[in-house]
Amino acid sequence: MQATDSPPLPSAPPLPRAQRLSPSVHRRHTRAGLLFVSPWVIGFLCFFAYPFFATIYYSFTDFNGVGAAKFIGFTNYVNLFHDPLFRTSLFNTFYYTACELPLSTIAALGLALLLNMKVKGRAIYRTIFYIPSIVPLVASCMIFVWIFNPVSGIVNDLLTSAHLPAPNWFFSIAWSKPSFILLGLWGLGQPMVIYLAGLQGVPREMYEVAALDGAGPWRRLRYITIPMISPVILFNVVLQLVLCISYFTQAQVIENSDIGGPGTSTWFYVQYLYEQAFQFLKLGYSSAMAFFLFVVSGIIMVLLFRSSSRWVYYANEPR
The smaller minimum CB distance to another protein, of residues 48 and 74, is found at 48
Angle at 289 between CA 69 and CA 50, to 5 degrees: 55
CB-CB contact of 76 with 276 (8 Å) = no
The smaller minimum CB distance to another protein, of residues 127 and 222, is found at 127
The yes or no reply on residue 140 touching another protein (CB under 8 A) is: yes
The yes or no reply on residue 281 touching another protein (CB under 8 A) is: yes
What are the distances in angstroms from CA 199 to CA 5, 203, 222, 237, 248?
12, 9, 13, 16, 31
Half-sphere CA count of 156, side-chain side, radius 13 A: 18
Which residues have a Cβ under 8 Å from the Cβ of 228 and sit 6 or more positions away? 198, 201, 202, 206, 313, 315
* Residue in 256, 267, 100, 119 with CA at minimum distance from that of residue 186: 100
Which span sits near another protein by CB under 8 A: 74-82, 96-104, 216-224, 244-252? 244-252
The yes or no reply on residue 145 touching another protein (CB under 8 A) is: yes
The yes or no reply on residue 52 touching another protein (CB under 8 A) is: yes
The yes or no reply on residue 181 touching another protein (CB under 8 A) is: no
The yes or no reply on residue 146 touching another protein (CB under 8 A) is: yes
**One character per residue 287-306, x = contact with another protein (rule: CB under 8 A):** x--xx-xx--x---x---x-
**One character per residue 195-214, x = contact with another protein (rule: CB under 8 A):** xxxx--x-------------
Minimum distance of another protein from residue 22's CB (angstroms): 13
Find the helix or strand (DSSP H, E) in which 116 lies.
none
Minimum distance of another protein from residue 209's CB (angstroms): 20
CB-CB contact of 306 with 240 (8 Å) = no
CB atoms within 10 A of CB 232: 20
Among 157, 178, 202, 224, binds another protein (CB under 8 A): 157
What are the distances in angstroms from CA 140 to CA 133, 176, 184, 223?
9, 16, 10, 37
Q: Which of residues 78-97 bind another protein (CB under 8 A)?
A: none
The smaller minimum CB distance to another protein, of residues 13 and 73, is found at 13
**One character per residue 257-276, x = contact with another protein (rule: CB under 8 A):** xxxx-xx------x--xxx-
